[in-house]
C-alpha cells in the first residue's frame, strides 16, 4: 500500500504513503503477526499467529508473576497483585515517606523494573498508581539527591526518568492514577502518563517548574547534550547552563500531555502561572475524571480507582488493549488515518477466541469467560 500510494501523483500520494506508514507502525506495536486490514496490506493474522503475538517469551518479564510478593516493606515501591474478585488488578504503591515520594535513583530503578515485568504479563488487566504515604502522591524530583550528583550524572538520570514515565504511558493495559495528596512537577507528569486520573478534593496538583525558571518536560535533554532546539541558539541558555542542578527537576511530558488532557489555552495558563489546583478545580478543567471527598483513611481516590478497575475486569482483555492502542495512536494523527488505525486494530479482534466466547455468552445469556486469547 505504501509503495502504491507513493506512486500516486502530487501531495495526495505523499499523504497516503504517510498514512500507510503510520498505520503500519501502529500494527508493529501490537506484536508479531499483526497485519493491516483489507486494502492496506496483505492477509490478516490467523488465530495461531495472534496467540504467538501476545505470548511472552519463556523466562521473560511476564514469568516474574511473584514480583509483588517479593517486595520488602521498607522498599520505595510496593507492587501488589490483587487476588480473588480483584484478580488482574496490579497496584504500584510509592512509599518514600521521608522524601514526600520524590523521584530518586532507586525509585526510578524500581519503577522501571516493575513496568518491564508488567508490560508483557497477559494476566494483568489494569494498573493503579498510588501513594502509600498519607497526604502525598509524588512531590516531583528528589532535589536533595540531585544536589549531590555530579553534572555528568544528571543528564542520563533525567533521561531515565523520562523513559520510565513514557514506559508507563505506553503500558498496553488501562492505567489509573489515584491522587490522594500532593502531585507537583514530575509527580503530576507521572499522573498525566496514566490513562485516567482520580483525586481527592484535598489533593494539590500543578506543574510549577516555571517558578524555577525551567519548563515541564523536554528542554533539559537538549541543553545537557549540547544540541540546539529548533529556532534557538545554545547561547540563549548560557546563563542557566551554569546551574545544572536547578535545571534538573524537569521531568517528562508536561508541556505535551497537559494540553492534550485539558486543551492548549488552559494548559498554557496553568504552566505560565505555575498554579496549583485542588481536586475540585482539577475536575473543573478536565485534568481528572473524578473527585472525591477525602475519607478518614486518606485513600478516597485509591478506592475510586479500585472501583473503576473492577468495572474494567469483565471486559475482553484483548479488546481492552487494542482499544487503548487505537485511541492513543488515533489521537496523534488526522481523522482519516485514525480511522485506518481503528480498522487495523478492529481486524485483530476478529480471529480471537474471546470474540467467539462473547458471542456465545450473549446467545446463552450468561457472563462471558474471557481468557485473553
8 Å CB contact between 341 and 29: no
Q: Is 83 a catalytic residue?
A: no
Q: Which grid cell sits at 363?
A: 446467545
Distance of CA 334 to the CA centre of its chain: 22
Separation in Å, CA 6 to CA 14, 77, 207, 340, 344: 6, 49, 43, 17, 20
Point out the catalytic residue in the list 20, 141, 305, 344: 141
Q: Show the DSSP H helices in 173-298 as ranges.
A: 186-192, 219-225, 238-241, 244-247, 254-262, 264-273, 279-285
HSE (CB half, 13 Å, CA atoms) of 60?
A: 13
Q: Is 274 a catalytic residue?
A: no
Q: Is 186 a catalytic residue?
A: yes
Which class for 226: exposed (0-12), middle (13-18), buried (19 or more C-beta within 10 A)?
exposed
Of 347, 363, 349, nearest to 36 (Cα)? 347
Q: Which grid cell sits at 365?
A: 445469556
Q: Which residues pair with 129 in a beta bridge?
A: 92, 177
Of 120, 49, 77, nearest to 352 (Cα)? 49
The Cα 179–Cα 206 span in angstroms is 12
Which class for 257: exposed (0-12), middle (13-18), buried (19 or more C-beta within 10 A)?
buried
- Kindly report the number of other CB atoms within 10 A of residue 294's CB atom: 19
Point out the catalytic residue in the list 31, 186, 187, 338: 186
Q: Please give the backbone phi and psi of residue 208, each rounded to the nearest 5 degrees, phi first.
A: -105, 15
Q: Is 153 a catalytic residue?
A: no
Point out the catalytic residue in the list 5, 191, 200, 209: 209
Point out the catalytic residue in the list 189, 248, 267, 340: 189
Which class for 57: exposed (0-12), middle (13-18), buried (19 or more C-beta within 10 A)?
exposed
H-run or E-run covering 120: none
Which residues are designated catalytic?
A: 141, 186, 189, 209
Amino acid at each position: 500500500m505504501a509503495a502504491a500510494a507513493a506512486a500516486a501523483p502530487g501531495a495526495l500520494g505523499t499523504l497516503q504513503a504517510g498514512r500507510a506508514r503510520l498505520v503500519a507502525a501502529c500494527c508493529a506495536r501490537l506484536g508479531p503477526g499483526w497485519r493491516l486490514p483489507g486494502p492496506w496490506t496483505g492477509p490478516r493474522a490467523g488465530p495461531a499467529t495472534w496467540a504467538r503475538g501476545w505470548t511472552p517469551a519463556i523466562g521473560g518479564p511476564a514469568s516474574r508473576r511473584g514480583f509483588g510478593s517479593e517486595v520488602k516493606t521498607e522498599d520505595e515501591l510496593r507492587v501488589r497483585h490483587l487476588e480473588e474478585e480483584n484478580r488482574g488488578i496490579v497496584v504500584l504503591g510509592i512509599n518514600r515517606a521521608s522524601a514526600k515520594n520524590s523521584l530518586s535513583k532507586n525509585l526510578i530503578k524500581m519503577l522501571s523494573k516493575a513496568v518491564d515485568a508488567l508490560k508483557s504479563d497477559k494476566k494483568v488487566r489494569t494498573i493503579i498508581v498510588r501513594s502509600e504515604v498519607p497526604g502525598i502522591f509524588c512531590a516531583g524530583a528528589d532535589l536533595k539527591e540531585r544536589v549531590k550528583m555530579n553534572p555528568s550524572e544528571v543528564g542520563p538520570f533525567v533521561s531515565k526518568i523520562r523513559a520510565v514515565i513514557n514506559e508507563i504511558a505506553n503500558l498496553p493495559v488501562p492505567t489509573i492514577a489515584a491522587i490522594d495528596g500532593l502531585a507537583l512537577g514530575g509527580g503530576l507528569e507521572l499522573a498525566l502518563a496514566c490513562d485516567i486520573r482520580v483525586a481527592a478534593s484535598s489533593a494539590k496538583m500543578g506543574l510549577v517548574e516555571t517558578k524555577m525558571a525551567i519548563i515541564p518536560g523536554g528542554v533539559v535533554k537538549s541543553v545537557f547534550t549540547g544540541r540546539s532546539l529548533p529556532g534557538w541558539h545554545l547561547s540563549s541558555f548560557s546563563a542557566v547552563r551554569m546551574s545544572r542542578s536547578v535545571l534538573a527537576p524537569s521531568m517528562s511530558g508536561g508541556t505535551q500531555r497537559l494540553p492534550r488532557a485539558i486543551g492548549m489555552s488552559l494548559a498554557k495558563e496553568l504552566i505560565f502561572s505555575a498554579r496549583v489546583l485542588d481536586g475540585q478545580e482539577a475536575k473543573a478543567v478536565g485534568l481528572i475524571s473524578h473527585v472525591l471527598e477525602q475519607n478518614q483513611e486518606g485513600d478516597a481516590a485509591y478506592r475510586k480507582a479500585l472501583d473503576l478497575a473492577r468495572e474494567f475486569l469483565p471486559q475482553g482483555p484483548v479488546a481492552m488493549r487494542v482499544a487503548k492502542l487505537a485511541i492513543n495512536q488515533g489521537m496523534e494523527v488526522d481523522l482519516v488515518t485514525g480511522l485506518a488505525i481503528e480498522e487495523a486494530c478492529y481486524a485483530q479482534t476478529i480471529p480471537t477466541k474471546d470474540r467467539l466466547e462473547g458471542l456465545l455468552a450473549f446467545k446463552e445469556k450468561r457472563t462471558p469467560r474471557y481468557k485473553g486469547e
